[in-house]
Amino acid sequence: MSPGGANSPRPRPQGGVRLAARPDAGAAGHDPPTEAALTTTLLATDGLTVRFGGHVAVDAVTCAFRAGELTAIVGPNGAGKTTYFNLISGQIAASAGRVSLMGEDITRLSVAERCRRGLGRAFQLTNLFPDLTVLENVRLVIQARERKGFGLLSTAASHSGITTAAEAVLDRVRLADRAGSKVSELSHGNQRKLEVAMLIALDPRVYMFDEPTAGMSVDEAPVVLDLIAELKHDSDRTILLVEHKMDVIRTLADRIIVLHNGALAADGPPAEVMASDVVQEAYMGKALEDV
């Protein structure tokens, strides 16, 4: 799979930015991914479409995501960003099109199977195990990653490696002091942090963050953003980030794609996408700058 071949998006009749051949490594990024990593497509969607009744929520989106790249996905409310994620991670079945992960077609696989193959997802609406402790939430993720779920005759507590790893993740999101609390007792900001912690604990090849800092206070958000920046150092992974805040996108993204009414409206390096007329007029002014 070469960057100019099967993975390049279908040319769309629009006047904005198109994904031309990728500029040399580091054109817009901050930690330039290596040449080798950039040529590896981890995740690709091909004509991905879903219709709800007559409404086309995601409209033939063709896009490839490479290792070592952080792609910001922007678009106004209801543009289909979350639905696009749902199609990729399998919560919603596609009406048409394909999703492939590391070259394999995963369109028909279950959510769990996609996850086991390296697709990790954090949710826009916090989605945790409310009656279990913070530590147990993360422990369950690591237990899943280690494929220990069918252990029947050992106690969970005896797998101290899993617990230690879970504590380490909690430490990274500054939640270690709440490890023993029930999730339902956490503040909204801390629940958002836990949501991110669970994705990090999964250690996937593809990270999908859906507005990770939404509703967080100004002093909480940087913890999460720093973590995402840290993840970028690993050139084996790819990160998809749905985000409304332009300053965040400016500092983190290597690439921006714009969804509008479910369709891919623009795709390219941040500077170009932000500068493009179509995006300026149609989305930046209204949807993005005001947040």
Ligand X SMILES: Nc1ncnc2c1ncn2[C@@H]1O[C@H](COP(=O)(O)OP(=O)(O)OP(=O)(O)O)[C@@H](O)[C@H]1O
Under the rule (CB under 8 A), what is the footprint of other proteins? 89, 91, 110-113, 115-116, 121, 123, 127-132, 136, 139-141, 143-145, 148-157, 159, 198, 202
Closer Cβ to ligand X, 22 or 260, answer by number: 260
Q: Which of 41, 45, 71, 82 binds ligand X (CB under 6 A)?
A: 82
Dihedral of CA 113/69/123/242: which sign?
Answer: negative
| Comparison of 128 and 229: residue with beta carbon closer to other proteins | 128
- Shortest Cβ contact with Mg ion: which residue? 82
DSSP 8-state symbol, 282: I
75 contributes a contact to ligand X by CB under 6 A: yes
- Residue 159 in tokens: 């797998």
C-beta of residue 242 within 8 angstroms of C-beta of residue 77? no
By CB under 6 A, residue 79 contacts ligand X = yes
Residue with tokens 């790893």: 165
Q: Work out how close the CB of 113 gets to ligand X at its nearest, in angstroms, rounded to a whole number.
A: 21
248 binds ligand X (CB under 6 A): no
User: Which tokens is 1 given?
Assistant: 């799979």
Interface with Mg ion includes 82 (CB under 5 A)? yes
Check: CB of residue 183 under 8 Å from CB of residue 134: yes
| Under rule CB under 5 A, residue 41 binds Mg ion | no
Q: Which does 69 bind (CB under 5 to 8 A by kind): other proteins, ligand X, Mg ion, none?
A: none
Helices (H), the chain: 35-38, 81-89, 111-116, 134-145, 160-172, 188-202, 221-231, 246-252, 270-275, 277-279
Nearer to Mg ion, 25 or 72 (CB): 72
Q: How far does the chain reach from its first CA to its final CA, in angstroms?
A: 38
Residue 54 touching ligand X (CB under 6 A): no
